[in-house]
Structure 1
């Protein structure tokens, strides 16, 4: 394990593997290096890239020096880019895609950007996230009800059906999910403004002018597909790609070749 210090003193734990241009993978809600999709994806990409996976602040082996702000997470990515030599490609999944988008908007050291299914709710195929969603989440966590907070996220944030949420405590990963439940408000701050069932604001990410690939699964819910189509339409330099047969739980073997081709072709172009 390696560490890099962020601007506010937070120690960020990361893993580096492979050879080639630097590529940083950003996890979504409740995920970190020991529990999430980016470690298997990194293994697929390592033959062509120097791939960095890391524990977002407050998760896994990373600490958190002070109060949370989106700017602090962007500074964490900036510190990793510095460790990688001063520039890097960036990829994010789910709410990690929202974070990667913020980083690309603010950091000129991001060379290219790929995003998989940021959880933006822009139309009516599912209910928007409720106005009291964040307040309820904060109350549950303040009361020490981590399991209830995870269920609240899955039911009201992700939109899973009630029966699926009810059986989650029987899953092997339940303990790991509860262990990082306190970071759910971080992901809420990254996504809540774009989960109201309204079109994404034009110009919101005008700073993210690097070549960008927006990807969604062909079997993902309609609201996720609509959000990604909307996002590709408001970004300055974005292409859109659908992965046939994939869902929000995308298979690394299906995604890795698409990412590798994008980064390599855009570099040649």
Structure 2
């Protein structure tokens, strides 16, 4: 992977594949760049240069402890600059929240594709001390408990599902990402109700969601699209339960960026 340097000196790892207009894929909670490989491949097949990256405290990227949402904005800006400074951003889940927040704070993107952002608009918000408790668990050497607590209290998964996940072989890959749960919690809590700058970004915005996904995400996507002047809501039937279908999502991007 290549490396961009964020404003605070943190190394941010990214990888590009394909040739053409740049689309930066920004992943959600407990994900790394490799998790978007299928989507990157589908975009490359459509004639794009698809960029995946490890958000801070994930994968091959570094971390400056005490990170804030604005630090993550600087991370995205660093990746954008490293790949030429002209790109659309496709964000999924908390990555969609980050993409929208970054664009509203002046990061120059060509277009936004926001896939199932977990915005709550002030309803059923997690406990206000959740980020603090997650940080304490990480600091005290219990990253596994931080991941579980995040899944239960922030994502809202049923305890049986979380316990089943904890018993699976895949759980071990999530534990090293525990610090990132603190950052995702801070990010979404800070902008869970989008402010006027976020709702008024002056680039084309496409909000995507599946037909079958979590009710919170359906409500969030529909409301965000309704409150953003000129935003388009696209329901992608192939995307199921918060998993964007690579081929279908790439098709939506290509149609709106003139690569169909």
Fold agreement, TM-score > 0.5: yes
Contact residue 123 and residue 226 of structure 1 kept, 8 A: no
Please give the alpha-carbon distance, in whole angstroms, between the structure 2 residues aligned to 1:134 and 1:58: 15
Hey, what does 2:93 align to over in structure 1?
94
Range moving further from structure 2, 177-186 or 135-144 = 135-144
CA displacement at 1:159 relative to structure 2: 0.9
Please give the alpha-carbon distance, in whole angstroms, between the structure 2 residues aligned to 1:193 and 1:6: 21
Please give the alpha-carbon distance, in whole angstroms, between the structure 2 residues aligned to 1:46 and 1:98: 24
Query: Which of 225, 230, 235 is the matching residue for 1:237?
Result: 230
Hey, what does 2:135 align to over in structure 1?
138
Please give the alpha-carbon distance, in whole angstroms, between the structure 1 residues aligned to 2:216 and 2:107: 31
Q: Give the 3-state SS of the residue equivalent to 2:152 in structure 1.
A: helix
Contact residue 39 and residue 246 of structure 2 kept, 8 A: yes
Please give the alpha-carbon distance, in whole angstroms, between the structure 1 residues aligned to 2:55 and 2:148: 21
Hey, what does 1:4 align to over in structure 2?
4
Alignment pair present for 1:253 and 2:247: yes
Hey, what does 1:57 align to over in structure 2?
56
Contact residue 200 and residue 228 of structure 2 kept, 8 A: no
User: Structure 1 pair 142/179, CA: closer, same or farther in 2 (3 Å)?
Assistant: same
CA displacement at 1:226 relative to structure 2: 0.6
Superposed CA deviations along residues 100-145 of structure 1, whole A, max 9, x for unmatched, are 1111112352010001011122486xx4322332232222222211
User: Structure 1 pair 193/14, CA: closer, same or farther in 2 (3 Å)?
Assistant: closer
Contact residue 104 and residue 197 of structure 2 kept, 8 A: no
Superposed CA deviations along residues 164-205 of structure 1, whole A, max 9, x for unmatched, are 01111222221110011111111111112455xxxx355141
Alignment pair present for 1:209 and 2:219: no
Please give the alpha-carbon distance, in whole angstroms, between the structure 1 residues aligned to 2:234 and 2:92: 14
Q: Give the 3-state SS of the residue equivalent to 1:51 in structure 2.
A: strand
Hey, what does 2:79 align to over in structure 1?
80
Hey, what does 1:183 align to over in structure 2?
180
Range moving further from structure 2, 142-151 or 87-96 = 142-151
Range moving further from structure 2, 133-142 or 144-153 = 133-142
Contact residue 27 and residue 92 of structure 1 kept, 8 A: yes
TM-score, normalization by structure 2:
0.92
TM-score, normalization by structure 1:
0.89
Please give the alpha-carbon distance, in whole angstroms, between the structure 1 residues aligned to 2:122 and 2:10: 38
CA displacement at 1:81 relative to structure 2: 1.5
Contact residue 121 and residue 194 of structure 2 kept, 8 A: no
